[in-house]
Amino acid sequence: MGTAWNRRNALLAWVALGLAIGTALALTDRALAARIVWSAAALPVALHVGLAAAQALAGGRVGVDVIALAAILGAAALDEAAAAAVVALMVAGGEALEDWAQGRAKRSLTALAARAPRRAARLAEGTVEEIDAAAIRPGDTLLVRPGETVPADGTLADAEAVLDESALTGEPLPRRLRTGAELRSGAVNAGAAFRMRATASAEASTYAAIVRLAEQAAASRAPLTRLADRFAVVFIAATAVVSGLAWVFSGDPVRALAVLVVATPCPLILAAPIALVAGVGRAAARGIVVKGAGVIERLARIRIVLFDKTGTLTPGRPRLAAIETVPGLRREAALRLAAALAQGSTHPVSAALVAAARERGLAVPAPEAAAETAGGGLSGHVDGQAVLLGSEGFLRERGLAPPETLAIAASLAVAGSVAWLAVGGRVVAAFVMADGLRPEVRRTVRRLRALGVERIGLVTGDRGEAAAPVAAVLRLDAVHAGVSPAGKIAAVHEERARGTVAMVGDGVNDAPALAAADVGIAMGAHGTAAAAEAADAVLLVDRVDRAAEAMAIARRSRAIAIQAIVLGMALSGIAMGFAAFGHLPPLIGALVQEAIDVAAILFALTALRPGRDDVAPAPLPDEAGLADRVAEHAGLRRLAERLREGAEAVGDGPESLRALATLEADLRAELLPHQAEEEQALYPAAARRLGGRDPMGPLIRMHAEIEALCRRLASLLHLAEQQDGWNGASAELRRTLFALEALLTLHLAAEEEALAELASEAR
């Protein structure tokens, strides 16, 4: 590349100098000397073009370079040396402009390699040792100073670090991380110095893999370039016909020369690949590494998208979805016992139970004599009671069966798995676990539909009972459940019969399907190296909506490439008509064609800018309080659970009034102020960002309904506390509590989805 670039620039300098000297000689009435200088300037370019045309022909391609060659040689033969020099300048300048444009388009990719860490500071026996990044080994303690790049993957050893990950993810705002957080190489320290423990060598770390992917992306030739070559064959034939007819009907070979001059070099061979490479650069700036312009071209034609489930549509971490208990046992009491025993295991379900208990502020005691049965469950003692926690099979092996009162838990098993709790030889609770959808998934599916994707499906190794609810919520068109890696390949081939297929996945078991699809897209932030290597595009941000963004970028880039081809050919065709009728002499025609080339290439570079559909709303300012309001949602969800418990407790009679009064007071103290804060600061700021007449209207209407139900609850409690008032109020009290719980749960979900794009993490 460097040698070719130097040769092209040397040719450009030679032609420009010769044209300038020849022009000066012509202005001093030394016409013969001027023609000699102009011809001398043009002939080396003709030789360069001739060799390139011969190489292309040997490779089975015919390019419009042959028109440029004919124009230069024809101009020299017809004593139009000035036109020959201008055409030569046009060719050399076009190649130099192409180099500049591709460099501009690839800037985001080359910037990745330029920022690769070269040195690192290793802490050893209390001293700081400067080493090459290549010398980093797993287990090394490294010091990352302000402004330095994290040299290898690792974990944070200090209390806090502030990292700028914009080069990796496109996120403009720094992230604040705590002790033990995972660090990825390539991020820049935007705060104070911190220590980290390397978990991989620099070569095996995230940033090195990204650089390798970027190098692959920078060295490809797009299929659309071959499409441009096919256009070139048609264009050459049309040029030959028009120039021949112009000569025949006018009897003047200069007119034929003028047609050749305005027809070359056709901007389609420059503009089309530049637009696609610009798409690669645009994607890289958004944290999407696309392995070449050819992938951009294929991605733009995708009609079917298949998603893996675990780790792609879902975070891959189970969470507590519901708790069912026998009468007389409160849900929080059951969770406290389960979480206590779960502390003796590292299983994801155990971790989810412990996390749920901590979120609720429960004091979890330490278990005694905890023992784990692999693949089954846990046994031990908590508060002096014998406790079992595990699958239904684990409990049945010990002679315990869930009672009929917990049948609801079994029916909810489609949401995920169920962990059963037994205390004192009796099954008392069921914990329904679910791997919830990523918050951006619904919006991703809607955007894919808007982009013209005709079919969206799910391909997963999970059982059909777990996959069906996901497909139903997302309104997917196909579900391939319970399939092996080979089965995923078969699913891809089956869907390919309907159109071009993209596969999105993250795990080792997804790698074969990613390779089999027309375009494989890997979740690279936390996915496996095997998936990233097999895929055609890698999402460096742990957000599945970047897959839809990659498709939007690809479609816009391909559209611009085709528009640039049409623009260049149309303008050249018009100019050829003027030249054929004698209205454009060769010299003026050469200048016109140069302007056409520049216009087409600059138009192709617009693919670097975000399109109308690519621009997400700017994140809200801190004073809007979005982060604080979302953080309060965890407490409000617990409040919704208490509403359900309160409704169930109504059946206990007037004894539940005290707990219900406490619940109503908490609604006034927590929920209503939360809604008032949202309407005062958050919603107005969000409305300005989202646009439209009243984007927050539905959420405000929900607020009003929730407030009305809270007032109704207070009135009913007041009535129930009166003498003989319980019998008249209890049924309506129960309905009001259930209605309030349902509306509050729905409102929290709707609000989070509506505001998801306005959070800084979404950028």
Residue 294, judged by CB atoms within 10 A of its CB (0-12, 13-18, 19+), counts as buried
**Cβ atoms 425, 398 nearer than 8 A:** no
Q: Is there a catalytic annotation at residue 308?
A: yes
Q: How far is CA 597 from CA 181, 480, 566, 577, 594, in A?
A: 51, 50, 12, 17, 5
Structure tokens at 139: 């287990």
Instruction: Say how far residue 323 (Cα) sits from the centre of its chain.
Output: 35
3-state secondary structure of 173: coil
Element (H, E) at 290: strand 288-290
Residue 206, judged by CB atoms within 10 A of its CB (0-12, 13-18, 19+), counts as buried
Cα distance between residue 601 and residue 620, in whole Å: 37
Q: How far is CA 427 from CA 127, 338, 676, in A?
A: 58, 12, 43
Strands 175-178 and 119-124: unpaired
**Cβ atoms 94, 105 nearer than 8 A:** no
Annotated catalytic residue, options 65, 140, 164, 308? 308
Please choose, from the candidates 243, 230, 236, 272, the residue with its C-alpha nearest in 3D space to the C-alpha of residue 597.
Answer: 272
**Cβ atoms 193, 172 nearer than 8 A:** no
Residue with tokens 């099979």: 393
**Cβ atoms 353, 327 nearer than 8 A:** no
Q: How far is CA 488 from CA 277, 304, 305, 453, in A?
A: 31, 15, 13, 20
**Cβ atoms 282, 106 nearer than 8 A:** no
- Bridge partners (DSSP) listed for residue 426: 423
R_g of the chain, CA atoms, integer Å: 34
Would you tell me how many other CB atoms lie within 10 Å of the CB of residue 744?
Answer: 22
Backbone angles phi, psi at 320, to 5 degrees: -75, 120
Structure tokens at 742: 């349902």
Amino acid making up residue 243: S
Query: What are the E-state strand segments in 499-604?
Result: 501-505, 519-523, 537-539
272: left (phi over 0), alpha (psi -120 to 50) or beta: alpha
Helix axes 253-262, 81-105, angle to 10 degrees: 10
3-state secondary structure of 346: coil
Q: Which residues are catalytic?
A: 308
